[in-house]
Every structure is written in structure tokens, then in C-alpha cells.
A and B are shown apart, each in its own frame.
Chain A
Amino acid sequence: MKNNFRIAILFTLVTTAFFGLAYPLGVTGLAQLLFPSQSNGSLLMKEGRVIGSKLIGQSFSSPGYFHSRPSSAGTGYDASQSSGSNLGPTNRQLLDRVKSDGEKLHAESPGAPIPVDLVTASGSGLDPEISPAAAEFQVPRVAKERGINEAEVRALVQKHALGRQFGFLGEPRVRVLELNLDLDATHPRK
């Protein structure tokens, strides 16, 4: 018992030094060497300033941009407070939020069904992507707002669309921030 107690203390210290310090530091060194962009957050730069990460969504509300999904992270897409809404399926707060967001979108393009991802918040609150259906839903608005034809906008959406990985993993999707950056670069708003 006494012997094992002494071993427990020494063993804790030795393994902490190894697995708690040496291991993560070693992995950091290798990661920074092999994948410098990814290990630092896949950051996007413009004129020397960080303007976001490929992998982290942002809020968009101007009609000329593609909009991201609703978010419960902080005040919306707060990347230091990731969170889902955690509202249950029969919670009135959820149903009211879906109803009010849905009505706005419904008024925007009356006949079109609203893709469900546009009225539901993601688990992280930082979802960088929307479904191709959600992008298609927004094409007419963005095209009208920027005074360009829909085919051009669709072509840009295609450019930022990601298929299933290796053809079968996950779901098809569109990266919103990069799409909007590209829109600004190719079709600046007057």
C-alpha cells in the first residue's frame, strides 16, 4: 500500500511530463512544420489582415451576400463561444424562431420551399457551410441586389461547392465566406 502510494505519485509526475507536455509540444512542432496553414486555423488574409477562417462561419445580413445559417454562438458566430441552441423539438422558443425566420424567407421568395438548414441553428453555431439547396434559394436575391444575371451567380456557387468527400462521406455543401469574398472580388457592389 505504502509502496504503491509512492509509485502512484512518481508515476503521475512522470506520465504527466511525458503525455501532458512532451507529447502535445512534439505534435505541435510536427504540425507546424508539415501543415502550417491548417495548424494555425486555415486563416484567410486580405491586405495583410486576418478576415476569417475557411472553416469558421460568419454572420451575413446584407441582401447582396449569401447568408449563413442561424447561430446560437454568443450573439451569432462568436468563435470564442461555440454553442448550439440546445432547444428541444417541442420547445416553443425553437418553433417561434423557425416561424419568424421562415416567414421572412417566405416573403423573400414566395413560391419556393425553404431548405431546412436556413431556419435551423447548427451544433457549433459556427457552421461555415450551407446546403446547395440553401445556396440556390438565395441566388435570385443576390443576383438582383448586385445587378448581375443568375447564371453568373450560380457559376460562382458551383465554384465554392464541395461534394461528398471521396464521393460518399458527409453531405454536399457550399462554403459561404469564401463564396461571398469571391462575389466581392468579381462583382463588386456599385
Chain B
Amino acid sequence: MTANGWFQILFFLLVIFLVTKPLGVFMARVFNREKTFLDPFLRPVEKLVYRVTAVDEQHEMCWTEYTTAMLLFSGVSMTLLYLIERLQKWLPFNPQKLPNVEPGLAFGTAASFTTNTNWQSYVPETTMSYLTQMMGLAYHNFVSAAVGIVLAIVVTRGIARRETEKLGNFWVDTTRCLLWVLLPMCLVGSLIFVSQGVVQNFKPYTAAQLLDPQTVQVTGADGKTTTRTVTQQVIAQGPVASQEVIKEFGTNGGGFFNANSSHPFENPTPFSNFFELVLIFAIPSGLTYTLGRVTGSPRHGWAVWGAMAFLFLAAVSAAYWAESRGNPQFQDYVDQHASAMQSGGNLEGKEVRFGTASSALFATVTTDASCGAVNGMHDSFTPLGGMVPLINIMLGEAVFGGVGAGLYGMFVFIVLSVFIAGLMVGRTPEYLGKKIESYDVKMAMLAVLILTFTILGFSAFAVVEPFGTAGITNPGPHGLSQILYAYVSSAGNNGSAFAGINANTMWYNTSTAVAQLLGRFFMIIPIMAIAGSLARKKTVPESAGSFPVTGALFSTLLVSTILIVGALTFFPALSLGPILEHLLMMAGKSF
């Protein structure tokens, strides 16, 4: 570990702190339909959208209609993505003449991008045409992000409004989110990425003459090894920058290339890397302020932010520490120490320009949020370093979390915290003037249990069945971690992976898709039910007996609730996977 490494991490948190309030205020204004500086440009576009789609912008929906509209939109747009994948051979923008995507993979990918997961069990540069990438995948990066954000906004409205069924209009909220929140940043951000070297073109792949032709051994399908001379390098191209920016800003995480943000054309410089990190946390962090502002208690927003920042720092410290120590099983003459000449540490699966500090930071941020972009391969992290992303997703990605999904995920823990506090003092729990009753707590528990049930259920199935264990590529306890990570990432809609796992099979494509759909929509429905229930209630005035949801006491209770729920649920699985692997690695065992 180096002083410069810590400085990068703390500087990052400072920048996130600084963007929280301005962005939070801006989003509150956008969804409240107040004036913003972008109105002269965007208001005409907005009106045009409503005219063409026949949306009545004055109409307000109750929680069931809102949820129905969201499900219909997700269903229709998912179908369109599936069709684009299945027909890409005959569609334009396919200079590499890539064939149509196989049905199982096309379905898995459609589910994955619709649910903001972006789990990828294929190599994009040899599977997806430029059209599929931009009109299918990048498009879903926009809309699945917008859907997440507007649902979080509905939760804040549920808390703020009283004695009403009306929670806003799904189409209006989504349109405003796309145009005001996402589009302007993406236009500016994609050009910033291009300035750093991210490509943006529609050219066929470029063939480059190698300076030093290589003789390589190739093992054919028949198992025979032949020797071949490689004189050319084929360099994949594409409209990358326009997708890169929404991939992070919408916490989607689906790479244009197989290597995701470790690919130099997706993430060429340390600055592009830093910018990606800020983009991932910006909206989730801003939404905590939006929550405080909309509900009239900015200090509550900051208390939630504080709990998140604490958990973030704990995780990034653990990951950075573990990765800096390197691999104890390498020979003594391999120098893994940090110095002015090298970052040192465990560099398998990491880029030199990022080193251990920026890679550990990225792994933490991408799994705290439900992003899933990676700038290093989590599968090759040390056991404890790799356990950090795993735990982050298991905790429900409530630490800043996905755009919107983080806040509504955190909302579940807030309800539970308030409930536990109420039990301890023996009063009906209250949250910002709303009584939390048995219906609300039941719905919150349902959301927690669905995630747990999906992760552990599918993992248990996969580790005892041959079609599950066939996917393992790292034997020993690491194999369990690979399978566990696949379902944690799917149910949590993260999309990062212990990417060695061979997941492009019928079983994994289908089971991860089902896990993704359960983790997304069966999480959303109970949360929307709570929002609807809260909006119907009267506001009770705050009294001396009300439990305060501001300040350090509340933040501590919230952190404890998250850790207790997470630890009780997942500790047994973790002890058989990464923890066991760590102990065996230290004892000099390999597999």
C-alpha cells in the first residue's frame, strides 16, 4: 500500500461528497417539474415525445398502475432487444458480418440488459454487431437506468406525500430522467472519453502489421497442436465512447469489449478510470440528497450517505490491503513490493496503468453500486480481495448502490432499522412522520428474502449438479466462489463475474436470466407496495418519543442492520469459499 494509493481513494470520496448536493437538488427539481437551466432545449423534445406516444402528462398513477406501466415497458423493450440480437445478420452496422445470436444467449442477454445487470457470457467483439451494441445494449443502458431512478423517486414521494394514492406518471418521470438527468452528461462525458483515447467509429476492425511476428502454438478442435506464425493484429473498433459513458453513469456495467473497462479502448488512462468511478457513484450518491430534500429532512439524507460512506471505506480498505499483499505462492525472486518503480501486489488480471490501488477501488465501487464494470479480473483477485466484491453485492448493493436501485434497496434496510429501533423502545416505529406497520415490514422482509432465496437456492442447485459444476474453471474452494459469484451478481443485478466461469451454456444462460428477473422485479414490487402504503397514511407529528432518523446514532443502527442481515445470511457460504481458500493459500496449497 502506498500513500499515493490512499490519497487517490480519499480524493475520490471527496469528489463524490462534493457532487452529492448539486446533483441531488437538480434531480429533485427535475422530478418535481420545477424549472431548470436545461428547459429551453429539452422541454420541446419532451412535449414531442408525449405527443407521439399519446401520454397525458397531467395523469397521475397509483402504485399498481405505475408498476404495471414499468413492467409493460420492460417487457416490450426486452422483446425488441431479443429480436435485434436474433436478426442482426440482416440489419445494418455489421461490418464484421457477425451471425445472429443463438436463442439461449439472446434471451439471457436480453434479460441481463433489461434488468440493469449486464451479465455477459459471450465475447462481445465476436458476437454483437455495432447495431446490436448501440440500439440494443446501450439503449437498455439508458432505459434500465431511468427505470431504476424513477422507482427510487416514487419511494421518496411515498414518504413525502400523505393520504393519497397518486405517485406520479411513469412515462413522464422516465422521459424527464432520460432527457434531463442522463442525456446531457452522456453527451459531454462521451467526448471526454474520446479525448482520452476511447474509440468512436463504425469502421471494420483494423488489421495492423506486427513489428515482431510471433510463432505461436495453436491447439485445434481435434486436440492437435500446430505451430503458426502471427504477422497481423486485428484491432476491434466500434461506437464505444457513447456506450461507455452510460455504462457507468447508469451503473449498467456491460462492456463493449470482453475485457470491459480493463480494455485500453474502453478505459485508456488513469483519468478515464477516475472519471468512470465518479460516474458510477454520482447518481446513487446524489439520490441520498434528493431523498432528504423531497422528504423535507436533508439531515436524514446525509445520515444515509454517512452510513454508505462508512461501509464503502471499510470495503475499499480491505480490498486494497488484500491485493497489495500479492500472492504468497509466487517464487521469492518475483518482486511484489510497492516502490517508486512499480505498484507491486497481485497484478494477475490487472493493468499496469491502474495498479493495485485503482483496481481495488474500482472493484469496490462497481460492486457497492450495482454497476458490474470491471477494470481488473475479480476471478484473479486474492481470496480476500475477491471476497470484498462478493460481500458488497450480498449486502444488497445498498452502499450507494445502483442508480435508484441502491436507494430503494437501502430503503428496505431503513424500514427494518426503524422497525428494530421501535421494538427496542416498545413503540410503534415511525419514519419521517409515517407509522411503519406490519404490512410495510412484511413487504421489506419479502424483498430481503427474495434476494437471499434466489442466490442461495440457485447456487446450491448448481454446486450439486454436473451441469453446474461443469462451469468451474478454478478448482478447489475457488470453484464454489465462482458459482456463488455468478448468482450473487445475477440476483443483485450487478453483472460483474468471476469471469473464468464457463457460463455460456443453456443452464447458466437460463438460470442466471431467471435470477436476474427475480432479483429485479420481485424486489421492485414489494418496495412499490410499501411506497403505495406509505403515501396513503396520515402524517403523525414528531414527538419526544419518535426515533430520530438523523445523526450518527441512526447511521450506526443502519450499518448494523445491514451487516447483521448480510452476515447471518451469507457467512456459511463465504466460509466455504473465499475464507477457506485464503487459509489454504496461506498454508501453501494449490489446486
State the A residues within 8 Å of B (CB). 1, 4-12, 14-16, 19-21, 23-24, 26-28, 30-32, 34-35, 38-43, 49-62, 65, 69, 73, 75-92, 94-95, 98-99, 102, 106, 113-117, 119-134, 136, 162, 164-166, 168-173, 177, 180-181, 184
Contacts and interface: CB of A to CB of B under 8 A. Distances in A.
Interface string B70-96: 001101110010000000000000000
A135 B211 CA distance: 18
Given A28-B201, A28-B239, A170-B270, A89 B4 contact: no
Interface residues of B, number: 135
A81 B354 CA distance: 21
Nearest to A106: B333
A23 B246 CA distance: 11
A90 B4 contact: no
A50 B348 contact: no
27 contacts: A4-B65, A7-B53, A12-B73, A12-B76, A16-B135, A51-B210, A52-B209, A57-B264, A79-B236, A80-B205, A80-B235, A86-B500, A87-B348, A88-B380, A88-B478, A89-B383, A90-B474, A90-B591, A95-B590, A120-B349, A122-B262, A123-B374, A128-B264, A129-B352, A132-B341, A136-B341, A170-B273
Contact of A88 (B206, B269, B379): B379
B235 A121 contact: no
Contacts of A170: 269-271, 273, 353-355, 358
B382 to A, nearest CB: 5
Interface string B328-371: 01110111100111111111111111110110000000000000
Contacts of B473: 86
B515 interface: no
B73 A31 contact: no
Nearest to B474: A88
A89 B329 contact: yes
Given A8-B72, A86-B473, A31 B135 contact: no
Contacts of A102: 330-331, 333-334
B134 A85 contact: no
A16 to B, nearest CB: 6
Interface in B478-513: 478, 481, 498-500
Given A40-B203, A52-B233, A55-B265, A7 B212 contact: no
Nearest to B45: A18
Given A10-B54, A131-B352, 14 more contacts: A20-B135, A34-B191, A56-B233, A73-B259, A75-B214, A76-B216, A80-B236, A87-B348, A87-B380, A102-B330, A113-B334, A122-B351, A123-B259, A123-B349
Contacts of B228: 75
A108 to B, nearest CB: 12
A114 B195 contact: no
B68 interface: yes
A119 B348 CA distance: 8
A85 B380 contact: yes
B123 A83 contact: yes
Contacts of A181: 211
A10 B50 CA distance: 10
Nearest to A17: B135
Which residue of A54, A133, A162 has the most chain B CB atoms within 10 A of its CB atom? A133
B421 interface: no
| B contact patch SS | mixed
A27 B258 contact: no
Interface in B194-236: 194-203, 205-212, 214-216, 218, 228, 230, 233-236
Nearest to A91: B474
B136 interface: yes
A134 B334 CA distance: 11
A124 B216 contact: no
A27 B334 contact: no
A27 B241 contact: yes
B461 interface: no
Contacts of A5: 72, 76
A27 B198 CA distance: 12
Given A20-B135, A79-B235, A90 B584 contact: yes
Nearest to B264: A55
Given A83-B258, A86-B349, A165 B271 contact: yes
A67 B22 CA distance: 47
Interface string B113-145: 000000000010110000000111011001100
A91 to B, nearest CB: 5
Nearest to B237: A41
Closest 6 A/B residue pairs (Cβ): A170-B270, A86-B500, A123-B262, A20-B135, A88-B474, A133-B341
B333 A85 contact: no
A85 B476 CA distance: 17
B565 interface: no
A170 B269 CA distance: 8
Contacts of A16: 77, 80, 135, 139
A134 B344 CA distance: 11
B80 A12 contact: yes
Contact of A50 (B77, B209, B355): B209
Which residue of A56, A69, A122, A131 has the most chain B CB atoms within 10 A of its CB atom? A122
A14 B355 CA distance: 43
B589 interface: yes
Contacts of A84: 259, 262, 348-349, 376-377, 379-380, 499
B187 interface: yes
A130 to B, nearest CB: 6
Contacts of A15: 49, 139, 142-143, 178
A32 B202 CA distance: 11
Contacts of A20: 134-136, 138-139
A27 B200 contact: yes
Which residue of A24, A39, A87, A120 has the most chain B CB atoms within 10 A of its CB atom? A24
A25 B83 CA distance: 21
Contacts of B341: 115, 131-133, 136, 172
